Amino acid sequence: MISVQNLSFQYAAGNAIQFPDFTVTRGEHCLLLGESGSGKTTLLHLLGGLLRHYSGSLKIEDTELAQLSEASLDRFRGQNIGFIFQRNHLINALTVEKNLMMAPYLAGLKIESERITEVLSGLGLAEKRKSRVTQLSHGQAQRVAIARAVLNKPSIIFADEPTSALDDKNCERVIHLLMDVANQHQSTLLVATHDQRLKDKISNQVRLSSL
């Protein structure tokens, strides 16, 4: 499903970041561990096609990402990948519902109101559908970000430090929520974190070394 070999990436200013080889099979959950600055976000952005021009090999479903055109990559991402960013990237001016509608809209898929209902209910957010993002607690906003990421039933979910700003109780909640939503559609789940609390939650782990 995901295969990384001999991968390295260089920002315009900076040293090349070298990543370890690993594979994640379909439906598997995997932790991407490493200190701050070790390249976790960079790797997720490469895997999601948000950063390009890497050297080495980066394959999703036997497709070498570098071989996709920008337009096919956008489509591929929208239809196959759910991204939960380090900062939740919700649009504050819009309601919860409108934020969720962005996911199918940007992927060129049909917007299904029932699917929005289903996902919001599943995450305990049904009453927040018409609320603006600014009216939510941090934990609720985090769940909306998860809802948006899973709305299109992606085959892969990437989460970047989903628990680092949360207390123990919400940390526990969010990681189980992510694993549950991934299991519902046999999605592959890759969670990047330096949060030691997650180490016992997912046994399959890839460790990035510090530079």
d(CA 80, CA 156): 6
d(CA 179, CA 174): 9
Interface with Mg ion, residue 38, by CB under 5 A: no
CB of 18 to ligand ADP, least distance (A): 11
CB of 193 to Mg ion, least distance (A): 9
CB of 149 to ligand ADP, least distance (A): 18
- Residue 37 interacting entry, from ligand ADP, Mg ion, none, C-beta within 5 to 8 Å by type: ligand ADP
The values of phi and psi at residue 75, to 5°, are -65, -45
- Residue 71 interacting entry, from Mg ion, ligand ADP, none, C-beta within 5 to 8 Å by type: none
- The span of 32-40, 51-59, 66-74, 116-124 binding Mg ion (CB under 5 A) equals 32-40
d(CA 93, CA 164): 25
By beta-carbon proximity to ligand ADP, the closer residue of 39 and 78 is 39
- Residue 34 interacting entry, from Mg ion, ligand ADP, none, C-beta within 5 to 8 Å by type: ligand ADP
- Residue 134 interacting entry, from Mg ion, ligand ADP, none, C-beta within 5 to 8 Å by type: none
d(CA 44, CA 86): 11
By beta-carbon proximity to ligand ADP, the closer residue of 38 and 152 is 38
Helix (H, G, I), strand (E, B) or coil at 122: helix
Interface with Mg ion, residue 163, by CB under 5 A: no
Are the C-beta atoms of 150 and 103 separated by less than 8 Å?
no
CB of 40 to ligand ADP, least distance (A): 3
Residue 54 Cα distances to 26, 62, 79, 115, angstroms: 23, 17, 22, 36
What does the binding site for Mg ion look like in residue numbers (CB under 5 A)? 40-41
